[in-house]
A = this chain, B = another copy of it.
């Protein structure tokens, strides 16, 4: 039986493709993505991670039971205790200091996606929050898999390959799969057919905002 994620992807296939096959991604794959585009992406992604942590904390708060609380806490710890430090290290290799990260302005596209996710969760229930988070967590996994054999050319080749490598890793695939299972378990309890159109709209909107986030990177290189 296919889960909720597969159904959402199928029903939002044009948004999904526009996001997972965005020019930002395809030009990373062939190495033509301008360096300033990736640099801007990296900077904003730091701010993104902060609000993503807040979204996982909100999931702990909203969880209907202890098992869901533990699942959300595991995600929160991964982001705040591991990923944010890795991100700061990665930024350092680009000459972006921690101080710079903490003081730069948040782009409209970062504000849009992160606040949409958080507010969807506050307005609705845990399922709404998970569905709003799904394009990020599951989309990055899919982008990683699709580009695992990518061989970018040019001066940025190593950096872009490293990025794809991270999201194509078995560790990431397992984390994404855990998230999809968790969302599907929530859907087993909270999803009805009558509610589906609402859930699909959240997924569609979140996916569009993720594509906008890539576009923000591209725009920075114009």
Q: Which residues of A contact B (CB under 8 A)?
A: 50, 53-54, 57-58, 60-64, 66, 69-70, 72-73, 76-77, 80, 102, 106, 108-109, 111-112, 115-116, 118-120, 122-125, 128, 188-192, 194-195, 198, 205, 208-209, 212
Give the CA-CA distance A100 to B189 in the complex, in Å. Answer: 23
Separation of A113 and B118 alpha carbons in the complex (Å): 13
The docked-state distance in angstroms from the alpha carbon of A189 to that of B197 is: 11
Q: Are A61 and B61 in contact (CB under 8 A)?
A: yes
Of A111, A128, A194, chain B has the most CB atoms within 10 Å of the CB of: A111
B76 in contact with A73 (CB, 8 Å): yes
**Could you tell me if A111 and B80 are in contact, using CB atoms closer than 8 angstroms?**
no
Min Cβ gap A143→B in Å is 20
Q: Please, could you name 17 A-B residue pairs with CB atoms under 8 Å apart, sorted by A?
A: A50-B66, A54-B61, A54-B63, A57-B60, A61-B118, A64-B198, A76-B76, A108-B112, A111-B209, A112-B116, A115-B115, A115-B116, A115-B120, A118-B119, A118-B122, A189-B192, A190-B192
* A91-B24 Cα distance, complex, nearest whole Å: 38
Q: Which residue of B lies closest to A114 (CB)?
A: B119
Q: Which of B69, B106, B118, B124 contacts A125 (CB 8 A)?
A: B124
Give Cα A53–Cα B57 distance, bound, in whole angstroms: 10
Q: Is the CB of A108 within 8 A of B209?
A: yes
Among residues of B, the one whose C-beta sits closest to the C-beta of A55 is B61
Chain B contacts of A50 at CB under 8 A?
A: 66, 69
The smallest beta-carbon distance between A146 and chain B, in angstroms, is 24
CB-CB under 8 A from A109, the residues of chain B are 108, 112
